[in-house]
Amino acid sequence: MMGPRKMNATRLMLLAPLMRLVLLSAAGLVMFLGMVLVALQPATGWSWSPEHWRPLDETHPAIWASLFTGLLAWLISSWVWALKPGHIPAMLFAASGFATLAFCFSSFAPWIAVPMNEETVAWIWAVNILGASAFGIIMTCLFLIYPSRLPNWKWLSVLTVFGFGSWTLLRTFGLFQDFAEVQRITTFEMLAIVIAVIWQFRSSASDPRRRAIAAWLGASTLLGAGAFIATVAAPITLGFSAFILENYAFSFFLVIYIGLAIGLMRYRLFDLGSWAYRLVFYASASIALILLDIVLVSILALDPGQALGISLLLIAIAYLPVRDFLWRRIVQRRRATDDDLFHLVLDTAFRPTEQERAAGWKTLLQDHFHPLELAEAEVAVAEPGIGREGISLSVPGVAGVPSLQLMHANHGRALFTPRDAGVVMHLVRLMEQAETSRSAYDRGVSEERLRIARDIHDNIGAQLMRALHSAMPDRKDAMIRDTLADLRDVINNAQSPVLPLDEVLADLRAETAERLEPHGVSLRWSLQAEAGIRLVPSTIHTFRSLVREAASNTIKHAGAKRLDVHLRVTPHKVEVAIEDDGSGVDLATARLGQGLANMKARVEGMGGEFTLAQGTSGARLLAEFPHEVAGP
């Protein structure tokens, strides 16, 4: 049992992340409420009385866009750091959240109503510039070490901090002060971030996990930073007006924060790659639409409404097919179709031996997923599962093969995804169904062989014995010919279903009497049945085999003088009672021979009952089984 000290230590470990998150969130909320108080102050001067504050509808929306963007960035980054306090990328992420909070909270000075002196305004703009530049510096350093440390990352980090830091300080304080320079600084910082992200993606080609993180971070960063550069930083740097207020554009950075949070927490790593490409495609469409609209408005002097319509049309015609082509080439690996999988599974399931089926199943998985390693799983699994952040895929046991584990998909260049797990589940179900069909086929083959063996023993054997004891050569030849004809019927199971019952029984009665006569055994035959009944071959075979086997046993073993055969056929049931007056049978020690065992199995196989009992003077055989009446 866990001792009190261990329990307390565990409780403290669980509470520590929560306490860090609560404290950081509280600090962010205090700063947020403080800035809300500043934003609501009236033009008449500072007031602590809410009745003097400005109504919300009189404040500029840019204030609230900035405040909520800064708060959300701080909360997201604080949450990640609270869970991973010793993780350097998480620490940098939290620092960037504070920088974002700083430049967002200091960005709406023009819309503050309360009077402020020039020095206060200057300090507000200084905080804004320092926060914006710090965000770019920290993010660049973060992407130099995460998801992997790039070559010469230390020197590059020093160069980033010293270069952008010096540039920012020179333009914020002293003789070279120029607050407008912040747009140029942040533009180049965004470009540095983009370069670092692309470098990360290229350097992670050999590690699918790092590549998935890099693709996701790259997509979210390119979308967030690219949108800010395209709408605010680049136009101002080039001497044009921003397309939207920078306070609104700050919300683009939340895309980066959400993407980084997911990447740092490594949430559903196996899905990040495909989602990253989706983000890139959607961002590309948006940027292409904006740029095309600008070109049409500025160069062709079209009306904005007309330009937007033409842009949408061109994007739909050109972009969507290109996107679909690139998606298939880049994201979706070529896989077999359902028809191909079905044929492959059938080919595997119907191989003759269990060893060949097991080898075929492994080959199927190998050819479909191309793992670097395919081995037996340490623990059996009932359903497919993705492990180690997409590195492994567990496959349930099937076709006599134990549970397997696939490692490193697509020759080690990709991660396993939920779609792969779904394909495995589909393959397993197909294999189970094919196995069921194959087992049914094997049972059918076995039952057919057993039927042929029984018929040969019960019917053909009896007929050959009858021919053997015939004194007339011509009669013997005819019997042998009839036996060969019956043998063909046994093999083909093609006894005519249209033979009337009375005709079949008449032949059987004559045959039985002829067999018994040379051995001094008389036959008493009785039949109860409706006229014109026609039975299916299986029923005819069954009671013919019963009578023939009983006659053979009487001749060989009973020493009897009389054999009584009573048949009763109702519309749904056949009853057979056969009794001799021979030596009988000791039920306590009797064992069923091959013939009697065949009779019992045949009757019970039709859903009937078979009984061997001691009769009045000899042995008594009782059989009862259902039957189907053949059509006319």
| pLDDT: which is higher, 312 or 89 | 89
State the DSSP string of 129-165: HHHHHHHHHHHHHHHHHSSSPPTTHHHHHHHHHHHHH
**Could you report the per-residue pLDDT of 247-263, keeping only the tens digit for each?**
888 888 888 887 777 76
| Cβ proximity of 361 and 348 under 8 Å | yes
pLDDT grade, residue 515 (50/70/90)? confident
Residues in Cβ contact with 607 at an 8 Å cutoff, skipping those fewer than 6 apart? 625, 626
577: number of Cβ within 10 Å: 17
Highest mean pLDDT among 113-122, 383-392, 421-430: 113-122
| pLDDT: which is higher, 111 or 4 | 111
pLDDT grade, residue 102 (50/70/90)? very high
In this predicted structure, what is the pLDDT of residue 6?
52
| pLDDT: which is higher, 529 or 129 | 129
Strand partners, 563: 523, 580
One-letter amino acid for residue 23 of the chain: L
Q: What is the mean pLDDT of residues 100-129?
A: 88
The CATH class of 497-632 is: alpha beta
In this predicted structure, the answer to whether residue 98 has a pLDDT above a threshold of 90 is yes
| pLDDT: which is higher, 463 or 271 | 463
C-alpha separations of 80 from 17, 88, 213, 499 in Å: 10, 11, 16, 86
419: number of Cβ within 10 Å: 14
Residues in Cβ contact with 195 at an 8 Å cutoff, skipping those fewer than 6 apart? none
Q: What is the mean pLDDT of residues 2-31?
A: 68
In this predicted structure, what is the pLDDT of residue 504?
75
One-letter amino acid for residue 235 of the chain: P
| pLDDT: which is higher, 308 or 548 | 548
What do you get for the CA distance between the two ends of the chain, in Å?
A: 80
In this predicted structure, the answer to whether residue 293 has a pLDDT above a threshold of 80 is no
Q: What is the mean pLDDT of residues 73-92?
A: 85
Residue 519: DSSP 8-state = G
94: number of Cβ within 10 Å: 24
pLDDT grade, residue 574 (50/70/90)? confident
In this predicted structure, the answer to whether residue 226 has a pLDDT above a threshold of 50 is yes
**Could you report the per-residue pLDDT of 426-479, keeping only the tens digit for each?**
788 877 777 777 777 667 677 767 767 666 665 666 666 666 666 666 556 656
pLDDT grade, residue 204 (50/70/90)? confident
Q: What is the mean pLDDT of residues 63-76?
A: 91
Residue 587: DSSP 8-state = T
Highest mean pLDDT among 319-328, 461-470, 574-583: 574-583
4-265 to CATH, choices 2.60.40, 1.10.10, 2.40.50, 1.20.1070: 1.20.1070
pLDDT grade, residue 376 (50/70/90)? confident
| pLDDT: which is higher, 618 or 291 | 618
In this predicted structure, what is the pLDDT of residue 231?
79
Domain extents in the chain? 4-265, 268-332, 338-440, 497-632
Q: What is the mean pLDDT of residues 618-622?
A: 84
In this predicted structure, what is the pLDDT of residue 628?
67
In this predicted structure, the answer to whether residue 481 has a pLDDT above a threshold of 50 is yes
In this predicted structure, the answer to whether residue 485 has a pLDDT above a threshold of 70 is no
Q: What is the mean pLDDT of residues 321-347?
A: 60
In this predicted structure, the answer to whether residue 411 has a pLDDT above a threshold of 50 is yes
Question: What percent of the chain is modeled with pLDDT above 90?
Answer: 10
Cα(207)–Cα(408) distance, integer angstroms? 10
Q: Which residue has the tokens 């015939």?
A: 470
| Cβ proximity of 247 and 62 under 8 Å | yes
In this predicted structure, the answer to whether residue 350 has a pLDDT above a threshold of 90 is no
In this predicted structure, what is the pLDDT of residue 276?
45
| Cβ proximity of 332 and 273 under 8 Å | no
pTM of the complete model? 0.53
How much is the mean pLDDT over the chain? 75
Residue 608's SS3 state is: coil
Cα(594)–Cα(64) distance, integer angstroms? 95
The two three-digit tokens of residue 389, written as one number: 């952040």
**Could you report the per-residue pLDDT of 178-189, keeping only the tens digit for each?**
877 887 888 888
**Of 225-239, 320-334, 595-609, which range is least confident?**
320-334
* Nearest CA among 569, 572, 549 for reference residue 621: 549
**Could you report the per-residue pLDDT of 167-180, keeping only the tens digit for each?**
999 988 877 778 77
In this predicted structure, what is the pLDDT of residue 456?
67
